[in-house]
Structure 1
Amino acid sequence: MNLILLAPEQALSDQQYKLSDRQIEHIAKVLKKDHGDKLRVGVLNGLIGDAVLDKSEWRVTIETLESEPPKTLPMELVLALPRPNMLKRTLMNITAMGVKKIHLLHSAKVEKSYWQSPVLKENSIYDYLVEGLEQARDTVLPAVHQHTRFRPFVEDVLPDLLVKRMGLVAHPYQAEPCPVDLVQPCVLAIGPEGGWNEFEMQKWSDAGMQSVHLGDRILKVETAVPVLLSRLYPAK
């Protein structure tokens, strides 16, 4: 936790916020801050600054909010729904790297039971996103959309996403090398562990998406995601 992220429901006033149990534990055991010490804080979807710790009441008083959050990636990320035990890590990594629009999508190789997992509940996803923001010292919460049917997404939703954006679909076969250091915004689609099937690849192609690969090695989704993002929009 590199930032104490303060949500609206924690506000006691314009300047004072009550700390959550998780924040208290981190401040006490990891940061080892004492009464009157300064903390780096951010207001959810707002600015970043400094606050003073009141350890007797476990609250903070904001002194300054002067810094903008890091720049976002100009990308809409479409991700075939990973296994539930991988989803948390993947969402945290995506959020930490600056993606603000995420589409979780069904595909032929995604088990239908995944969509019933408790990790897809709104409060669970919120917690994963917040952890990613805290890691990256960011405050802007991503929007996560769930699409349980592949074809309606590609035919009805994707065309609007592709307006003024390059369309890329990660696929290890019959694809071009993934571009580096894009200037324009993009839509990036990343498949499940077993990859997109032939029908799905045809639908991506029909929609105007270009197939790209990362070389001969086949990577797990949780590895491919940060590799693709850092390649398309490297830090500068």
Structure 2
Amino acid sequence: MNLALLFDTDFTAPDRALLTGRRRVHLEDVLKATEGDQIPVGQVNGAMGTGQIIRLTDTEAEIAVTLDCPPPPALPLTLVMAMPRPKMFRRVLQTATALGVKDIWLLNAWKVEKSFWQTPWLEEKALTDNMVLGLEQAMDTVMPRVHLRKLFKPFVEDELPELIGDRTALVAHPGTGTPCPTHLNAPTVLCIGPEGGFIPYEVEKLQEAGCQAVHLGRRILRVETAVPVLISRLFDGCL
């Protein structure tokens, strides 16, 4: 926890907040913080700053909060992912959040098992908890938006072209002839398939919607590896 993220419900006054549960335990057990110490803090979807611990008990930490710094800039990226395996999904979500992605679309595909959509990791609280971990790691405050689309064709035909607009749009697909660009640093839509990749029909539909198929070389990467590799290749701002 490089930054203590504060929700509106944590504030007892405009400049006072209480940390409880995991965050209080982290202060004491990991940071070895004591009364009088200062820690980095940020308000969800708001400014960042410092918090001075003015009271520390077995159940809560009261901090005096000063918020005077904007969060880091978001990446100009819309990330469209075929729904990953549940065990992998939480890691991918945390990583994408830490890298500054603010617009995430989870999409069905032929190789996505129906059971993946039943995972409790898609419940609102679980999504928030994992995004919080990503924000705390990266010292950011702005929550990503997560959209679920369980029907591939309607999304690709009806929504994706509008999402793309005049932006660069890419679909990562091994075996294509074009390498993924580097240092793009421009508004982009990036589509990433499931383990095993998109099937040819899906790649064709994505291309019809305006995506260019690109590759990362001869090696085939897991989704949880491909996501940070692709994003860091495209954007200097996540490094």
TM-score range, shorter chain: over 0.9
**TM-score, with structure 2 as normaliser:** 0.96
- Cα pair 2:42 2:141 within 8 Å, conserved: yes
Q: After superposition, give the CA deviation of every residue in 1:103-147 in whole Å (9 maximum; x if it has no partner).
A: 011000000011011111010010000000000000000000000
Aligned position for 2:56 = 55
Aligned position for 2:22 = 22
Q: Distance in 1 between matches of 2:190 and 2:148?
A: 16
**TM-score, with structure 1 as normaliser:** 0.97
Q: After superposition, give the CA deviation of every residue in 1:128-185 in whole Å (9 maximum; x if it has no partner).
A: 0000000000000000000001001101110111112111000002230000111420
The count of aligned residue pairs is 235
Q: After superposition, give the CA deviation of every residue in 1:6-55 in whole Å (9 maximum; x if it has no partner).
A: 01111111111111200011000000100121111011111111111121
- Cα pair 2:102 2:143 within 8 Å, conserved: yes
Q: Distance in 2 between matches of 1:37 and 1:165?
A: 46
Letter of the 1:47 partner, please give it. A
Does the residue aligned with 2:128 lie in a helix, a strand or coil?
Answer: helix
CA RMSD of aligned residues (A): 1.0
Does the residue aligned with 2:131 lie in a helix, a strand or coil?
Answer: helix
1:140 matched to 2:142? The reply is yes
Does the residue aligned with 1:181 lie in a helix, a strand or coil?
Answer: coil
Aligned position for 1:189 = 191
- The correspondence of residues 92-171 of structure 1 with structure 2, limited to 5 A, is 92-171=94-173
Q: Distance in 1 between matches of 2:31 and 2:176?
A: 50
- Cα pair 2:175 2:218 within 8 Å, conserved: no
Letter of the 1:175 partner, please give it. G
Runs of 4+ in 1 over 3 A off after TM superposition: none
Identity %: 49
Q: Distance in 1 between matches of 2:76 and 2:177?
A: 23
Q: Distance in 2 between matches of 1:174 and 1:143?
A: 30
- Cα pair 1:181 1:232 within 8 Å, conserved: yes
Unaligned runs of at least 5 residues, structure 2:
none
Between 155-164 and 135-144, report the one with greater CA deviation: 155-164
Aligned position for 1:35 = 35
Does the residue aligned with 1:61 lie in a helix, a strand or coil?
Answer: strand
Does the residue aligned with 1:141 lie in a helix, a strand or coil?
Answer: coil
Q: After superposition, give the CA deviation of every residue in 1:170-224 in whole Å (9 maximum; x if it has no partner).
A: 0002230000111420100000011000110110111110000000000000000
